Amino acid sequence: MSNVSDVLPNKGRKKSTDKPEGRVGIIKIMTNALVKLVAKYLPNPFVFAIILTVIVFALGLILTEHGPMKMLNFWYKGYFSLLKFTMQMIFVLITGYALARSPFVVKILKALAKIPKTPTQAVMFTAMVAYICSYISWGFGLIAGALIAKEVAIQNRGKGLHYPILIAAAYSGNLVRGPSSSIPLVIATDGHFLQDIIGIVPVSSTLFSSWNIIMTVTLFILIPLLYMKMMPKGKDKIIEIDERLVMEDKIEEVKVVLDTPSARLNNSRILSLIIAVPGLIIIFNHFRLNGFDLNLNIVIFIFLILGMIAHKTPIKYVQAINEAIKTCGGVALLFPFYAGIMGMMKTSGLAGIMSNWFVSFSTATTFPLFTFLSAGFVNLFVPSGGGQWAVQGPIMIPAAHAIGADPAKVAMALAWGDSWTNQIQPFWALPILAIAGLSVKDIMGYCMMVAILAGIVISAFLIFL
């Protein structure tokens, strides 16, 4: 499969016939307006990253005492600060994709994809599956949502299913904060850097608090319903999955000829098991010792081991990985640029200035809400939960303690703010778009509607519960 992330040109698209006219509501009017706005004005994600870099650089010169050379140094040092994380995301993408390309997993995906019978059911089903997968682990959800969406599109080809809205529904799962969310896990760990102020905050007070569980379930219900309302109607253009993507998804079994020692080694199932069996032991032992800890490393390792088992032989797994690596261009290019932006925001003090501005007019009641809003704004420039906690945590948590706000609720507000504006920030959409073969312009109008809905719901829960 060729690299089809938005960093590179898009593939062609198949258009189907128009759907019957229907009454257009306010949600559909807003959706159509945002889709047109995004198509006209949203630049390529790389260009978007360059523009953000320039904006942060200029703000640093205006709002801080740092000169041009210092801001350049902040950017340069930051550029290399997320290389480990970038490689982790690349490995999540290629090992998850390789696993999904195995015949066994393809059969499972095809079976799941047959559950929805209509385009509306397909989009709502995809949104729900992606949400559940992302709740389990955000890294797993990014890949699983894209793969199930693509298979649903293939199974419903010819039925008038609008492929971009389906992929947007898959990306909407990235909103949810589940057990793999870094901020509540950090403050629940002995020795975290704010322990002297708030102590150890158990996940029962954050992730599994009653208000957070109710809000999580509420969004799980409302997001698919929103997508139902956003479905194309009347003369809206329908773009179905490209036929070339359908053909690329077909797995062709090639007869293996074991006529040389190297061929027998390449196709040896025993060699795969020599790695896979100890790998399974490591995975079992990880969960035995750490509980349900789905961090990025263990997600990658699970994908790796299960992929080797599912492909059966080393050479077949190598071929799947070689195919998967073609989807990683956007991730490899853009993640370091956002690390550079994060470096300027954090080291120059810009993020602190923005956070302190929200703190200045907050009360104990409104502070969680303004923490959420400030986190959403900062997330546009620092799209990393761990990085954002390092920047905003030392400001927001002491302020919460000083004005009498609940630190557990403030921490979760920061976590939700970090995920909220992911729906209008193309950074995290790159892995999904790489698999789907679409442009960020194709999905961002729908994602903005999800951001509006989530902003209203989360704000209400932070104020009233």
pLDDT reported for residue 225: 97
Which pTM does this prediction carry?
0.83
Q: What is the mean pLDDT of residues 66-80?
A: 95
Q: 187 or 245: which carries more pLDDT confidence? A: 187
Q: Are the CB atoms for 74 and 120 separated by under 8 Å?
A: no
Q: 383 or 297: which carries more pLDDT confidence? A: 297
Instruction: Find tokens 């990253």 and name the residue.
Output: 49
Evaluate if residue 46 carries a pLDDT over 70.
yes
pLDDT reported for residue 253: 60
pLDDT reported for residue 251: 57
| Alpha carbon distances (Å) from 12 to 157, 159, 240, 244, 298 | 15, 19, 10, 9, 37
As given in the structure block, the two tokens for residue 75 are 């950017």
Could you read off the pLDDT of 106-157 as tens digits, one per residue?
888 889 999 999 999 999 999 999 999 899 887 778 888 998 999 999 999 8
> pLDDT class for 311, splitting at 50, 70, 90?
very high
Quote the percentage of the chain above a pLDDT of 90. Answer: 53
Q: 256 or 251: which carries more pLDDT confidence? A: 256
Evaluate if residue 382 carries a pLDDT over 90.
no
pLDDT reported for residue 177: 92
> pLDDT class for 340, splitting at 50, 70, 90?
very high
**Burial degree of 60 (CB within 10 A; 0-12, 13-18, 19+):** buried
Q: Are the CB atoms for 181 and 207 separated by under 8 Å?
A: yes
Could you read off the pLDDT of 183-217 as tens digits, one per residue?
888 888 888 888 888 899 998 999 999 999 999 99
Could you read off the pLDDT of 2-14 as tens digits, one per residue?
333 344 334 434 4
Q: What is the mean pLDDT of residues 74-92?
A: 88
User: Closest Cα to residue 56, out of 89, 85, 78, 82?
Assistant: 78
Q: Is 74 left (phi over 0), alpha (psi -120 to 50) or beta?
A: alpha
Q: What is the mean pLDDT of residues 29-52?
A: 91
As given in the structure block, the two tokens for residue 454 are 């989530």
Quote the percentage of the chain above a pLDDT of 70. Answer: 92
Lowest mean pLDDT among 165-179, 185-199, 245-259, 415-429: 245-259
User: H helices within 162-268, ranges in order?
Assistant: 163-171, 182-187, 195-198, 210-230, 243-248, 261-266
Buried (b) or exposed (e) across 209-236, using 16+ Cβ within 10 A? beebeebbeebbeebbebbeebbbbeeb
The mean predicted confidence, pLDDT, of the chain is 87
Instruction: Find tokens 């079994």 and name the residue.
Output: 253
Evaluate if residue 305 carries a pLDDT over 50.
yes
pLDDT reported for residue 298: 87
